[in-house]
Amino acid sequence: KPLMDAPPPPRHSSVVCYTVMTRCPGGKDLMALLAAAPGHRLPESQARFYAAEVALALDAVHRIARMVYRDVKPENVLLDGVTGHVMLCDFDLAVEERTSEEEVTGGAGDITGDRDEAGDENRDRDGDKNRDCDGDGEVTSPAFVGTEEYIAPEVIKGWPHTAAADWWGLAILLYELTHGRTPFRARWREQTFDFITTRRIDFPRPEEGGPDPALSDECKGVIRGMTRRTGAGLCDPAARLAGKHGLLELKLTGFFAALGDDWDGMLGRPPPSEDNWVSFE
């Protein structure tokens, strides 16, 4: 509804409502970029650029549209074939932010995807504390939605969840961009969920199949921070990096500080490597 109410208004007839979206020429996404990349992974500098643009998009969803996106994954990050910049798409799982008194309810098991219980064959490549988004009430939603490898622990457990769940998804996206796989993927969905709720993220060394060169400590720190657990493996979304102040916290990390202070000018910067996207058109 916030998106529908925002200018420009949707066009409609007596029976059909049309929403006009910005054209994204090229028809490719981050998953296609990974599929074409050596080892199905991106260099850290490229991954940082795309993660930063996704972070900007999520921040806009949270602050301006007042929604929680709930479906971060490479397939939902389009690449403009003209500019090479990203566009976040597929908002069918997004939910309007509500206060705790207007809690959103929903049934369990609404898992999207392109990834079945054994993992998507197309992708095979070798304490319920809540974040207060703007200080005027907790945003909660116990609806069980998302793509299984990216779902935050609080969503799996059926706890009320907030925009912090999107930042968890960004951490998993950054891991996949740099490793060519997600960190908690297992053969069966139930095992994937068990790994998400009980395990910390592991970073394999190059000789163990990890990125070569190995990831910087700054990159590892951001991923660990956005998936941080408290004592005994417990999950407190507000204790995770970006869990309280969102994008502002990410900008202050050493990893994203490499992009400088002018985040508002990201769209004016050239993408990391034109060779990866100029042929999409």
Q: Report the domain count for the chain.
A: 1
- Order the strands of the 28-29 sheet from edge to edge: 28-29, 77-79, 86-88
Selecting among 5, 29, 59, 71, the annotated active-site residue is 71
Residue 277 belongs to some domain of the structure:
no
> pLDDT tens-digit profile of 99-111?
444 444 333 344 4
Residue 114 covered by a domain: no
For residue 78, give its domain range: 28-93+139-258
Q: Is 114 a catalytic residue?
A: no
- Does a structural domain hold residue 267? no
Collapse the DSSP code of 87 into the 3-class scheme (helix H, G, I; strand E, B; otherwise coil) and give the result: strand
- Whether residue 230 lies inside any domain: the answer is yes
The answer to whether position 274 is within a domain reads no
In 3D space, the residue among 70, 224, 95 whose CA is nearest the CA of residue 155 turns out to be 70
Mean pLDDT estimate for the chain: 78
**C-alpha closest to that of 280 among 99, 17, 36:** 36
- Dump the DSSP string for 93-149: T-EE---GGG-----TTEEESS--TT--GGG---------SSSSS-------EEEGG
Top-ranked range on mean pLDDT: pick from 51-55, 85-89, 134-138: 51-55
- Give 43 or 23, the one with higher predicted confidence: 43
Task: Quickly list DSSP for 7-28.
Answer: SSPPEE-SS-EE------TT-E
Q: How many residues does the chain have?
A: 281
- Cα dihedral 124, 218, 151, 6, rounded to 10, equals -110
Report whether pLDDT(24) > 90: no
pLDDT of residue 82: 83
Q: Determine the average pLDDT of the residues in 67-93.
A: 91
Domain harbouring 65, CATH code: 1.10.510.10
Predicted structure pTM score: 0.80
Residue 112 CA: distances (Å) to CA of 75, 117, 124, 176, 177: 12, 12, 18, 18, 20
Pairing of strands 145-147, 110-112: parallel
Regarding predicted confidence, which is higher, 1 or 235?
235
Query: Within a domain: residue 205?
Result: yes
115-119, 161-165, 248-252, 271-275: lowest mean pLDDT where?
115-119
Confirm whether 144 is domain-assigned. Answer: yes
The answer to the question of residue 174 being in a domain is yes
> Which position has the higher pLDDT, 124 or 78?
78
